[in-house]
Amino acid sequence: MSETNKNIMTYYEVDVSQFSETAKLMKKMSASLTAQWAVEGKQFFEVYACYRTEEDFLIVKSLLPKDKPEFPSVSKIFLAASRFERQIYSFMGIKALGNSDLRPWIKFADWPADAWPLRKDFNSAQCLKRVKGEYAWIQAEGEGVNEIPVGPVHAGIIEPGHFRFQAVGETIINLEERLGYTHKGIEKRFESLGWLEGYKLAGRVSGDSTVAHSLTYCRALESMTDFTLPPRAAWLRAIFLERERIANHLGDIGAICSDAAFSIMLYQFMRLKEHFLRTNQTLFAHRFMMDCVVPGGVSVNISAEGAAQMTQELAALETEFERLVKIYDGNPSLEERVRDTGILSTKKALEIGVVGVVARASGLNLDSRSLYPFAPYDKLQVKVPLYTAGDVNSRVWVRIEEVRESMRLLRELLADLPDTTIKVPCPLPERNSTGFAVVEGWRGEVMYWLQATSAGTINRCMVRDPSAVNWLGLESAVIDNIVPDFPLCNKSFNASYAGHDL
């Protein structure tokens, strides 16, 4: 049976025996797997797979008996399913039959084996008993093979993550990531919140993407009711989103240059980013615009003087930005480090299902603002930059072009701000209803799926940060590169630890 959601989503329920056959059919249709998750109902477990087609997102659902929590794996059909299914098993105790790798993912090996954190009987307030456990790393053998552990604690203020390299000399032949060190129980926490509170937690999933995450949550919630967003609120949400994109791209471009020992560019780009963040503080009372997007609209407005200040700021930013881009483009020693480094081919990018900057640098035309536009993006004609080399340099140039495009979009948004209210009451969802939304954050598409209980409360909030799939791309991109180039590759992906370790 099928049911169409008014918001770019179609549901299909299939018998669990057909779960993997449906995946094969989606593969033939050139669809990509974007997420997998599970839910505990009163009588059944529910397992979901979300596919992106050319027109919309298709969600396939199967029911599993509680005394037999297993389903056919699709990991041999879609590479991204491997980690999705490991996470489902780790947190729900639902086994993907045919997946040869069900080692704990995010959940650590020293947790009790029968602790399933997303099941309804799990007490999240209880301190888990620590047991003896050891993670089984993938091993590489042979003459001249060395193993290099990096992390989980890194220099500076970045979050923890463990990288285990196998290398011959300095050439990387394999990389395995071990994440989960910043696991916070985010998805479980949503179940204890009210619908109108959830945006605050969403905005703290990954602090540098607070606008994208809170906006996606709010849009998923609003899709569950007959809600109409005030036009000015829609325009302001887009302004916040594009300002978040510019600020983070500026920081990333400078950091990539720094990892190639061109430190002056880090200082210059961070100077531009800092001015941008200070304007956010002045106009929106928060450097990262946290809690500015709320259910029913936005919590802050801008005056005519504030809009004029942003317009003037864009003119100054553009001049300085283009000066720095010329320096980047004209430095041969920098080009030597970034060109042909960390290549993720178009074929591999498509196989893994990467999104955002990483996808567009590898030739995949994926940008939710143009593919699934909502107001005001349906009027803006977003230009999507595409590069095909798939290397560090291409990922830098995608960011450069996106900064330019975001500045253009901001000018249009500021020049055409509707004169309406900025917030109206958001109705609560009906019982047993679901909601879904996708928003193009600065890293790539952020995805939320919400489900209400029979009592009308939050039963499940599935969060999929772009990092969930892009971390897989990094493992592939570093192969045959030298170990000293890993920081460059890593920074050019700049996947989020916090956004992944839910």
Same domain? 21 vs 122: yes
Same domain? 243 vs 130: no
What CATH code is carried by the domain that includes residue 18? 3.30.460.80
What is the reported pLDDT for 74?
Answer: 97
9 pLDDT above the threshold of 90: no
What is the reported pLDDT for 113?
Answer: 85
What is the reported pLDDT for 416?
Answer: 92
For residue 154, being part of any structural domain is answered with no
What's the rounded mean pLDDT across residues 301-305? 96
**Concatenated DSSP letters of 75-99:** TTT-TTHHHHHHHHHHHH--EEET-
Note down the domain range covering 339. 199-465
For residue 179, being part of any structural domain is answered with no
Same domain? 230 vs 373: yes
- Whether the CB-CB separation of 434 and 244 falls below 8 Å is answered with no
Q: Which residue has the higher pLDDT, 284 or 141?
A: 284
Q: Which residue has the higher pLDDT, 149 or 54?
A: 149
For residue 181, being part of any structural domain is answered with no
| Number of compact structural domains in the chain | 2
- Binning pLDDT at 50, 70 and 90, where does residue 7 land? low
Task: Name the amino acid, one letter, at 292.
Answer: C
Query: Is residue 376 reached through a cis peptide bond, with omega within 30 degrees of 0 on the bond before it?
Result: yes
139 pLDDT above the threshold of 90: no
Worst-scoring range by mean pLDDT, 95-99, 111-115, 363-367, 491-495?
Answer: 111-115
What's the rounded mean pLDDT across residues 155-176? 91
- Ramachandran assignment for 138, one of left (phi > 0), alpha (psi -120 to 50 degrees), beta (any other): beta
What is the spatial distance between Cα 360 and Cα 344, in angstroms, rounded to a whole number?
11
For residue 20, being part of any structural domain is answered with yes
What CATH code is carried by the domain that includes residue 302? 1.10.645.10
Please give the structure tokens belonging to residue 286.
Answer: 């928060």
For residue 304, being part of any structural domain is answered with yes
Please tell me whether residue 377 adopts helix, strand or coil conformation: helix
For residue 148, being part of any structural domain is answered with no
For residue 471, being part of any structural domain is answered with no
For residue 396, being part of any structural domain is answered with yes
Same domain? 420 vs 320: yes
What is the reported pLDDT for 116?
Answer: 94
Q: Which helix (H) or strand (E) holds 40?
A: strand 32-40
Same domain? 218 vs 126: no
How many angstroms separate the Cα of 45 from the Cα of each of 20, 22, 31, 119, 320? Answer: 17, 19, 25, 10, 55
pLDDT single digits (tens) 61-96: 999 999 999 999 999 999 999 999 999 999 999 999
The residue behind tokens 């990531």 is: 177
What is the reported pLDDT for 490?
Answer: 95
